[in-house]
């Protein structure tokens, strides 16, 4: 038996706590810090996501996890100047792995505050420099360059958890867990997310560009490792809106689409012209943008603009927001199970969704397909449910 003693369980009063395997060795090493129970849940789930995402795309991949669901995930595509400015980085200064992480972390910066980072490749100094500046609870990767590891070991006054995973580790085909003294056992979810899932287009519109095909598969990988019910919106090689753990599908769709719209609005040139005061943190900037998008720093705002900005920016009107969002009409959406009613389609199309992938098999499939046809959406049925609990 190989085991690792943990600080505590899910909550501080849940002690003792440990991670262990009955046979062989744990598939990871702790290079720094002292991970906790939730850290390991995030680490082991997020590693599976980035490993599969790299296999799918052939590019380095990264994920930002919070409470066993991804706040963001992305592949290492180069950043446009517009996106780099919105994310607060230099477009040409990042390695492909660093580009993947800054995209993943930037998908939902409020949710990623205190995230667990997963990286598909050996962490280089470019990626470590990004991690060093963020409020993060730990990271997992298959390796670390010596200079990158040295830099990360200084984080959190030397207490930053750093895990090194065995990249070729494959767990047993049967997994078990105990709930309230009862053991549950099942086959591990080994469903492969590959281009073969894209074969069954059920709508009149059957045209799906290559980038959208990749985005559909990326979003499907994200929902595979997101607490159900779940919806993911993707664009340009990254998740930009994740709706996780809701009891109704439409609630997930609303959350994911609302987050996607906010992400797209953060690319607006008016935000790029903000004049920040000196010495404010990245999280203060993220909060300021959120407040500005909400109400333009009206009196009821939770933040006084004068604490972060040299001048109060003009708010975006509803018409200006609509005009800006109308530029983005090629978004992709994945659902971890069948879409039960057309209300999900009607809500999604308002946020620029033009491509949908879902399980299919609802008694209302005909109505859902009809709604997609009315909106000109191309929709795929996979026949595979991807609940994650």
Active-site amino acid positions: 66-67, 229, 389
From the centroid of its chain, how far is CA 167?
21
Burial class (CB in 10 A: 0-12, 13-18, 19+), 31: middle
Strand partners, 28: 165
Distance CA 205, CA 238 (A): 24
Is 163 within 8 Å of 30 (Cβ atoms)? yes
Distance CA 287, CA 110 (A): 7
285: Cβ contacts below 8 Å, ≥ 6 apart: 88, 276, 308
* Nearest CA-CA partner of 237 in 370, 86, 62, 70: 62
Which tokens belong to 41? 């849940």
Q: Write the secondary structure of 170-207 as one string of H (helix), E (strand) and C (coil).
A: CCCCEEEEEECCEEEEEECCCCCCCHHHHCCECCCCCC
- Angstrom CA distances, 35 to 19, 44, 178, stand at 10, 12, 21
Instruction: Specify the DSSP class assigned to residue 315.
Output: P
Helix, strand and coil percent figures for the chain, each rounded to 5: 35, 20, 40
Count of helices and strands (H, E) across the chain = 12, 15
Is 360 within 8 Å of 338 (Cβ atoms)? yes
Distance CA 10, CA 21 (A): 19
Helix axes 37-57, 210-224, angle to 10 degrees: 160
């Amino acid at each position: 038996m190989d085991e690792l003693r943990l600080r505590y369980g899910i909550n501080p009063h849940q002690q003792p706590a440990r991670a262990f395997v009955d046979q062989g060795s744990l598939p990871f090493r702790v290079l720094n810090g002292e991970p906790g129970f939730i850290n390991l849940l995030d680490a082991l789930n997020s590693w599976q996501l980035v490993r599969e995402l790299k296999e799918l795309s052939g590019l380095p991949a990264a994920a930002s996890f919070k409470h066993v669901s991804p706040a963001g995930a992305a592949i290492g595509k180069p950043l446009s100047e517009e996106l780099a400015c919105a994310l607060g980085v230099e477009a040409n200064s990042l390695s492909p792995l660093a580009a993947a992480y800054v995209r993943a972390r930037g998908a939902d910066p409020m949710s990623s505050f205190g995230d667990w980072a997963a990286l598909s490749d050996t962490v280089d100094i470019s990626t470590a420099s990004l991690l060093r500046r963020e409020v993060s609870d730990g990271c997992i990767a298959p390796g670390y360059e010596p200079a990158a590891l040295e830099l990360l070991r200084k984080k959190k006054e030397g207490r930053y958890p750093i895990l090194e995973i065995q990249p070729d580790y494959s767990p047993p085909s049967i997994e078990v867990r105990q709930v309230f003294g009862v053991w549950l056992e099942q086959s591990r979810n080994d469903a492969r997310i590959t281009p073969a899932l894209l074969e069954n287009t059920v709508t009149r519109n059957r045209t799906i560009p290559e980038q959208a095909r990749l985005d559909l598969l990326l979003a499907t990988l994200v929902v595979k490792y997101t607490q159900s019910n779940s919806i993911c919106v993707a664009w340009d090689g990254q998740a930009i809106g994740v709706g996780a753990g809701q009891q109704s599908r439409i609630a997930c769709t609303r959350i994911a689409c609302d987050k996607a719209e906010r992400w797209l609005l953060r690319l607006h040139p008016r935000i790029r012209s903000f004049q920040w005061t000196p010495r404010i943190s990245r999280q203060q900037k993220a909060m300021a943008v959120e407040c500005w998008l909400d109400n333009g720093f009206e009196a009821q705002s939770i933040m006084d603009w004068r604490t972060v900005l040299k001048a109060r920016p003009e708010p975006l009107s509803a018409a200006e927001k609509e005009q800006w969002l109308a530029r983005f009409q090629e978004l992709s959406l994945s659902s971890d199970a069948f879409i039960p009613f057309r209300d999900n389609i009607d809500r999604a199309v308002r946020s620029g969704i033009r491509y949908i992938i879902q399980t299919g098999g609802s008694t209302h499939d005909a109505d859902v397909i009809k709604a997609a046809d009315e909106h000109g959406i191309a929709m795929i049925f996979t026949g595979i449910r991807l609940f994650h609990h």
